[in-house]
Amino acid sequence: MEPENLRKHPESQNVNARKRRALLKSALVGGGAALAGFFSGPLAEAAANPREQAAQDAVNRATRAMPAPKIKDLSVVEVGGGGANDSMVVKVTTDQDGLYGYGCATNTFPGGRNKLVRAAVDQYIKPLVLGRTTDRIEQIWQICYFSSYYKNDTVQNCAIGGLCDALWDIKGRQAGMPVYQLVGGKVREAADIYLHVGLGPESGDQNKQFIDNSKKLVEKGCRNLLLAMFIRDGAVNNLYGQPKFDDGSIPFDRDKEIRKVLSAFEAFRKEMPPEIGLAVDVHSALDPIRATEFCKAVEPFNLFYCEDLFSPEEASHYKIAREQCATPLAIGELWNNPHEWQPLVEDRLIDYVRHHVSHVGGFTAARKIAAFCDNYEVKFAWHGAPNSPVGHMTNLTLDLTSSNFGIHEHFDYPPLVQDVFQGCLQIKDGYAWISEKPGWGIEVDEALAAKHPITDERPNEMRTPDGSVIEGTG
């Protein structure tokens, strides 16, 4: 029954109804802002305005009055695992006890600049984000990206990627779910991998060694193998008859390397089962004419791709190669600017993008790259080394949640790296399996990491026998 006073004063009932409608409308508006805030990124104390504060209050109410965590500290953890196993991650600590996260910021061997990434985090990114709430990942990414008038360099992108990937880790830990569950779940159970295989010492029969090395990996369940062009396989004496120049650089013979690779591939296809995938990484070591001829020469071997045939600076040659042969093409580990890869994808001049995820700004940026490429039937195969185990888990999360996944580059970590990073992804029967633990599923032994800093960074230099400096990696 209605209260007596409402029957006697119907105007009071109308006023109360209007108040209830106004209150409901306010709640709905607040809730919408809360949802927008949840998917946009954190809020700075200093930059808060009434509307943003109202949205943040709605988030706090939605989490049963628990305030959103705020960024209390940023630190950098590095591990000198040796060459391709060097790692660098950003740790974000919040104002809530026991809540933190890790994100990959690796930018090391060869010719890397990990010391600059540390400086970028400590001196530029950290002062910008302290005190902000951790829930606005996209907004924090944008704030950091636009904080510099000069954008898209590898150092800045690694710092941003490390920070924001740590925020994704935090969000997963809060939710009690792996990050892949936060972005729609899996589209596949595990990721097909490839492993690197070498020719072996030059003193022996390199074709036989290449076949034997390949068979050992296939026996472990691997179905896809890649041979990389490196100094070690094309090393020669310089024009003075010496194995090194005065500054220690090693001369590299591009024609010798081409002959060795083509001979090894011919032997591989004769000896190995036809279903075993084969690829080559040129490392941009060939000039455009040699590269185009090489791309045509490997076509009969049915590669799953030929990687970094040309450097990003010579990207216009991909059109020439595309017109002359059907060898699948992949490029990307040197990219950090969208204008480097968008034209190649839009014109369908490549088949795989190979971005190093931290170099382009981390998980947040890579998801957008994958979605863009999907519109053009271009697959991705994220660069895998050097990379931290956190970065590999980030790559695998993208692999399992995106429809245009191609293949996963995998390296086995040495015992030291596995001791520091507890919870590395698992390999079984040629597939990479993701962790089901919250966030990226990895804990870091920071005390052990502090005892093993990165010490093996060196300049990246390749020369021809006459002393000319050329593109490539060693």
Catalytic entry in 283, 383, 392, 408: 283
Sheet of 87-94, strands arranged across: 71-79, 87-94, 100-104
Helix segments in 130-205, DSSP class H: 137-146, 154-175, 179-182
Q: What angle do CA 314, 318, 324 make, to 5 degrees?
A: 135
In the numeric block, which tokens belong to residue 12?
A: 């009071």
Of 442, 364, 380, 358, the closest CA to residue 157 belongs to 358
* 317 noted as active-site residue: no
- Tell me the residue ranges of DSSP E strands in 152-267: 191-196, 224-228
> Alpha-carbon dihedral of residues 465, 468, 471, 474, nearest 10 degrees?
40
Task: Please give the span between the terminal C-alpha atoms of the chain, in angstroms, as a whole number.
Answer: 86
385-423 per-residue burial string, b: 16 or more CB within 10 A, e: under 16: bbbbbbbbbbbbbbbbbbebbbbbbbbebeebbeebbeb
Cβ-based neighbour number of residue 228 at 10 Å? 20
Does residue 88 contact residue 114 with C-beta atoms inside 8 Å? yes
Does residue 283 carry a catalytic annotation?
Answer: yes
Contacts of 312 (CB under 8 A, 6+ apart): 331, 334, 335, 340
CA angle 381, 190, 107 (to 5 degrees): 40
Kind of pairing between the strands at 379-380 and 408-409: unpaired
**Residue among 100, 101, 143, 102 at smallest CA distance from 124:** 143
Distance CA 110, CA 434 (A): 28
Question: What tokens appear for 90 in the block?
Answer: 């950003």
3-class secondary-structure state, position 402: coil
CB 416 within 8 A of CB 427: no
- Residue of 162, 222, 209 lying closest to 409 (CA atoms): 222
CB atoms within 10 A of CB 225: 21
Angle at CA of residue 5, ends 3 and 6, nearest 5°: 70
* Catalytic residue ranges: 240, 283
